[in-house]
A and B are shown apart, each in its own frame.
Chain A
């Protein structure tokens, strides 16, 4: 593997080692312990057998979840061993008065009806689900909008093949709030979400990201390249706005136009190329190509500008300055 001069392997390795060492030292010096929220008014743990005695239907569902399998079959710490109360908190106060609405603070609940503050719900989930994909939850668009984990997840039942989502699939779960995107995926050109071959999470991290739009990669284009690696180049002859931002021309959620384009060609191209020599800024229907039966222009039908400038993402041909080869 040959790295460019700006990223010599030694320098990179040293930087990575230094970063890791700093993390380790900080971790050791700080002697960290996970914060334990003061839960349920000082209640005590009662054990899951007590819970199941009343909550049999819930247990039937819960038994098939990853949560149950982790808690019951291979717990790694005391919190996981206590199963139900690992998430709901100690239950002794709940036992004293399990039905009164005034006693809702006796347990952490994850439904609207129960009323536990969202911040506390989230803290309970994050007592296990910290770091990794959830590293950037704080400050994310979802967190700012005060979403609870259980707005998307049902930790008590296995409806989805993974992730304990509230709906059978990732896309259905996202559509419950993102109806606008659902409508866009129903348009003429769209990515294969409706067909079950792709999910929102292929591009977005719903748990937060450092990239706008909760994208998983460092930039919009890097997100696109993760599937469209052939567009990555770099090309001998580059097309500047293409290199800058795929969304200059495409709407990834769906479009009335071919190839997820924002606007029909050639009008899309002419929003930048309304200038310079020759043909770029001509009103190409001027000959009545479509409406009046005149001779069609090469630049109006089919792929319009891309009938000739077909390598619009970049050309690696020595004569490809005009993106034709």
Chain B
């Protein structure tokens, strides 16, 4: 241990050269659980590829599939391994240098996930120590010291006995560099308008427009970003030959801001604007496990916890326009008093899980085995709820607030904390048996449940009384609202009082579609079926699988769906120089009766106030749920074909090729409206050529095509009145809902039908080269990616689109287009036995044409012709920005 301590001191000294933190590889996670399996950044692949290869390695070999094994890196021979007097052997390297050129480019597309600024750079370092006597070791790695994509790892322990891993890794995420902030306090939960803007606006909307435009121009080009920092430690122990244990902890912090839309304005539905949402997250992940394997038995136990904290749970923002109180809201507060709003951000939450896995082999009984898995978890959040608004004195017509019931107080809430819980359970059982040496049979069964154990949230102000004068009863009255035993006002004010959504909102026309309580969604999934794998000959297998999946859901349009999947597969190495893998799956999903209404009727005011029956009463808000021929694509019937074929072939001993393609077709036969079709195609070609230890050339090309088709009928928003004559019959209280929801009825006239066809096409091509010139070596990677999405639509002029607008709308959207080019070239020149130089050139470009942001950056105040009307929106995020950069680097490598 004394020796280890000395080594650590030496490491600390080395680390002080360029690394702030110590740290190793795949630190926290393993292939079974957890995240955090990578330490590196955008520079790592290039630096790795530049490492010299081992020219003495045995002649080219192929994997069992037939792909060339890459040549290993040159490693020190036994007599070249450096040793200390203490018996520790060590090796390592350090690469540092400087980057110049366009690396300071600020485009969000360029900077997301990497931080390649100009200037000095400690690009990477590694150090490995081991002491053969005792089998102790220590491995250190890191890179990009001081930058936002830096990473460090430290692993030490005793081989085959115990090990400790620590790591720290940072990932920048730039959401936009074209943001125009109207607020001070970006990154905090309190956004106040910059000077020149007035909270609640002025008497002149036209002047507010000008002020907003000026402020946006003055504050343009801002970056909204965050950095994800993850730090962790993990201990692995071999307890006995058969038993192992591990425990790990990781802390992740995300700090920064990102754009988010927030709606504001009259009636709560106009003038949305992009505000900077603050992000200050902390997630603690704790994991511990016990592993057992003895040849016949395998047992794994894992306990995990994930504690997420949002340190900024709300964001309050001032708004720069003056709005009048919406209909149904009295003049208190006065016009101009709506100065701010507040959003509730992601709630802090906790998740716990326990999972046990057991496998028992029965080698004497047809080489069979039984595997069982049980897992149970719970997700919880109990954040304190905030009041409906920060605006004081919001009052609704004919609603009497009792003492303590103000909408800006928690007295207006039906409960004070969220109190939400979802429990998960999993049971999985597999029995495998080999009746003959060529046949393997399995039976599988799985059950998974996501059960929301929460009580619905009631949208009711328990400290208010509604003086009702409904359409059928003359004179004021107090409606005794007793749903779920609560009395009060049903519904809620919208968006900080800029709108309201109350059961009898205007005190004149009752409505049936006001959300009065939340829906509680749960699901149960069961899956079972047999598989068979038959060996036709020593190199050829045929496999078959059938699976039935049942899913039961609460509060969805369909209570139960079931899907049958049948799959056959073929794998053969019998071809002399090739391996073929092919599979085909046919899946059919069907389900129970489909109720087009998305939500449980009990969640709406229609559960409290029945559908009016008097002649002439407009029952639109009761009748209109959904076009009853519309199907949500995750629940609708589906027929799906999937075919995968892959061929790996050794064209020559030094040249291998791979060809693969996938065809996937999905149709939704019961969906007259909604998503009706989804197709995917993919073709991939690969070549890898290693003619010598000094040269490696590769190339690839992929083509992908995706297609989604959908059809819908816009709601005509027509009245459905009792006694109305329609093509589907005269509306009565009994058939009102059926007629209202029927395609071809007054609400969904067929002439309004439109459909859309969204087609993605992508090409990705690349090639690379490694060439050694004596001691120097050149490495080049190049790729180019083209993405296009074309969206066509069709409609009847005069239906979904009127004649005047049809001239403007045409038949399609402009193409969404992305072009991404990447070139990385690196020339490594050894200067001495331990000192090398590496010259790097990188070229990157990206162009994006996205109609979502056409003209948005130039015109952040979107408004109609009336200069005195509120804006349509304030899209303050200008969207993606093209970039083209070329930068070079001079790096120096020192081999320890």
Contacts and interface: CB of A to CB of B under 8 A. Distances in A.
A25 B422 CA distance: 34
A275 B626 contact: yes
A270 B712 CA distance: 8
Q: How big is the B interface, by class? A: 35 or more
A310 B359 contact: no
B213 interface: no
B625 interface: yes
A216 to B, nearest CB: 6
Contacts of A154: 69, 72
Nearest to A187: B787
Contacts of A262: 708
A290 B344 contact: no
Interface in A291-320: 291-298, 300-304, 306-308, 310-311, 315-320
A99 interface: no
B64 A271 contact: no
Contacts of B310: 230
A32 B673 contact: no
A180 B683 CA distance: 8
Contact of A318 (B385, B650, B788): B385
A204 to B, nearest CB: 8
Given A20-B301, A257-B789, A318 B73 contact: no
Contacts of A291: 808-810, 812-814
B161 A274 contact: no
A96 interface: no
Contacts of B393: none
Contact of A34 (B40, B294, B371, B646): B294
15 contacts: A1-B352, A20-B301, A23-B297, A58-B58, A70-B159, A118-B64, A139-B531, A168-B48, A218-B448, A225-B306, A229-B308, A232-B306, A272-B634, A278-B717, A311-B343
Interface in A239-285: 240-241, 243-245, 248, 256-258, 262-265, 267, 270-272, 274-278, 280-283, 285
B253 to A, nearest CB: 12
A80 interface: yes
B381 A233 contact: yes
B581 interface: yes
A108 to B, nearest CB: 12
Contacts of B684: 179-180, 183
A198 B754 CA distance: 41
A264 B791 contact: yes
Contacts of A150: 63-64
B495 A325 contact: yes
A197 B113 contact: yes
Given A113-B62, A233-B349, A317-B385, 17 more contacts: A12-B354, A57-B57, A61-B72, A182-B700, A187-B762, A187-B787, A188-B818, A196-B42, A229-B306, A234-B349, A234-B380, A264-B789, A272-B634, A290-B851, A297-B872, A301-B862, A307-B261
B67 A176 contact: yes
A234 B625 contact: no
B83 interface: no
Interface stretch (A39-47, A85-93, A157-165): A157-165
Interface stretch (B3-11, B451-459, B610-618): B451-459
A157 B72 CA distance: 6
A179 B308 contact: no
Contacts of A179: 658, 660, 684, 686, 700, 702
Interface in B366-388: 369, 371, 373-381, 383, 385-388
B69 A117 contact: no
Please name the 3 residue pairs, one residue from A and one from B, whose CB atoms are nearest each other, closest first: A288-B808, A292-B808, A131-B293
Given A226-B35, A298-B272, A302-B852, A274 B77 contact: no
A11 B260 CA distance: 44
B413 A210 contact: no
Contacts of A257: 789, 816
A69 B159 contact: yes
Given A57-B57, A238-B518, A197 B809 contact: no
Interface in B593-639: 596, 598, 621, 624-627, 630, 632-634
A227 B35 contact: yes
B835 interface: no
Contacts of B674: 271-272, 274
Interface in B327-375: 341-347, 349, 351-360, 363, 369, 371, 373-375
Nearest to A34: B295
B459 A318 contact: yes
B63 A234 contact: no
Interface string A134-169: 011011000011111011001011110111001111
A291 B684 CA distance: 35
A234 B422 contact: yes
A151 B63 CA distance: 5
B787 A238 contact: no
B280 to A, nearest CB: 11
Most B C-beta atoms less than 10 A away, residue of A227, A236, A308, A316: A316
A1 B818 CA distance: 49
Contacts of A207: 31-32
Interface in B23-70: 25-26, 29-45, 48-49, 54, 56-58, 61-67, 69-70
A210 B300 CA distance: 14
B220 interface: no
B114 interface: yes
A121 B64 contact: yes
A32 B130 contact: no
A321 interface: yes
Most A C-beta atoms less than 10 A away, residue of B518, B596, B864: B518
Contacts of B349: 229, 232-234
B492 interface: yes
Interface in A1-59: 1-7, 12, 15-16, 19-20, 22-23, 26-27, 30, 32-35, 55, 57-58
Contact of B646 (A177, A197, A272): A177
A281 B75 contact: no
A133 B31 CA distance: 6
Given A145-B569, A197-B41, A139 B72 contact: no
A69 B355 CA distance: 32
B430 A4 contact: no
A95 interface: no
Contacts of A287: 805, 808-809
Contacts of A6: 423, 451, 453
Given A33-B295, A301-B875, A319-B493, A218 B25 contact: no
Contacts of A60: 54, 56, 75, 77-78
A274 B241 contact: no
Contacts of B627: 274-275
A315 B385 CA distance: 11
B804 to A, nearest CB: 9
A172 B883 CA distance: 27
A282 B754 CA distance: 9
A166 B63 contact: yes
B363 A310 contact: no
A240 B875 contact: no
B141 interface: yes
